[in-house]
A and B are shown apart, each in its own frame.
Chain A
Amino acid sequence: MKTHSEHEHIEELIEGYALDALEPEERSLVDQHTSSCSPCRKQLRVTEETVHMLGFVAAPITPPVRCKLKVLEKIEREQFLHTPTRRSRTATPFSTWATVAALVLFMATGMWGVSLQRQMSRMSTDMTRARNEIAELEGMLAEVQEIRALKGEGQSQYAVANTFMKPGSNKALLVIRNLPPLSAGQTYKVWVAREGMEEGLTTFNPPPADDTIQVAIEPREPMDHYKWIMVTIENTQSADHPSQQQALFGDL
């Protein structure tokens, strides 16, 4: 049972506590009292909420994009390290915000090498098993000169993708987000095409929702010899012609 004067004494400290402006001894008095007194605890909560609203008083200022990229990279890395690996032979389900971040920076500024290499090297010290993949990606991405967007279709309408390519080269990278999972036995397949011909390339299995997947492709001819690029849903890996179920489609 709390005495009346104890409540009163604590009540006098509540505002200072909420503003974190008390001396340590006063602070621990409030901690002790509120741990067993619900009216004072409630009053403290409302007072703290008032204090927290002061956060709105500072004029908002947009931070540089790198802040966001760094946080996302950290989250990505943490998720990667704490989820079981998912790897397939044909694709690179190693989704790294570092790579996407570098791509974004590349698109925004053309400043490619420095940030990519820095981020890549940091990633690779954390994840040695990804090092070779990264080195390969890095070499490929360093060549990128053109980016072509693909649009999601049908049940993949929320998917987004970009092809990173270099005219004259037959190596390109497809970076895809938000492809939905498939039924058992189905697979995604990448195609390039022009009038009268279609060429089937890599097949891959979708990563979990919200994840990014990078698919390296290497058609027979340079990328700019083709007119379209698409990703379809196939029932067999060896399909000769793209099925009617298009997941992504874009012009080259």
Chain B
Amino acid sequence: MNGRAFLAMLARDAHVARRNVVVLLFQTFLQPLLFVFIFGRVMVRSGYMPASYKSLLLPGIMAISMVFTGIWAVAMPLISEFQFTREIEDRLLAPIEIGWVAMEKVLAGTIQALLSGLVVIPAAWLILRPVALDFSRPLLFLAVTVLVALFAAAGGLALGCTVNQTHIGLMFSLVLTPMIFFGCTYYPWSALDSFPILQKAVLINPLVYASEGLRATLVPQFPHLSLIAVLIVLTLFDALMLVLGLRQFRGKAVS
């Protein structure tokens, strides 16, 4: 691997991100903040939801925010760089193995997903005060967030190199929307106890592990899946998405 070329590519992405910072901020934070405001503040203050719901909701919002941002941040530029501007060609010709070109995109997406996840916490805290968050296990919390962010970015790589421009909207509505609603984001997994079949079925949804993992580290007072299981499954999903994404990327990069 050629570290200088890799860093230069990362620098290019950072440069472009800085230039588009306003759009990027809106894209990343608007939806989660609206969610936090409506569900956490409006619904709670008006009495439709108990106050404890605020703390339960926060990890779910964080998971959605990270997964959406990571997938979007990697998939959308890849689609346009392969199909329209063809900008990726200059990187593919850089003196670095092409797998690393894909890895750079994943790293950039992971960082973006991490930022979007971490910003939800202070923002939500401002809107929702008081929320009962537990920061007594920072390393475990970090491990979960990194795994979730990596999943999102690697998933974006796989998606961006598989789906073409005309189908990406469809992909978001047909795959990501159900993923969010069946992803234990607005409710804990244990809330599905009375739907035993559904409760088993949603376990194929990686977002379940993201929400439950964040719940387990941030608000352990609520019921959640075992943290060990979450860490193992997220690691497996990360590996799967990376392998798949790299394969698809090579298929696109070389004809």
Real binding pair: no
What residues make up the interface of A, taking CB atoms closer than 8 Å to B?
none
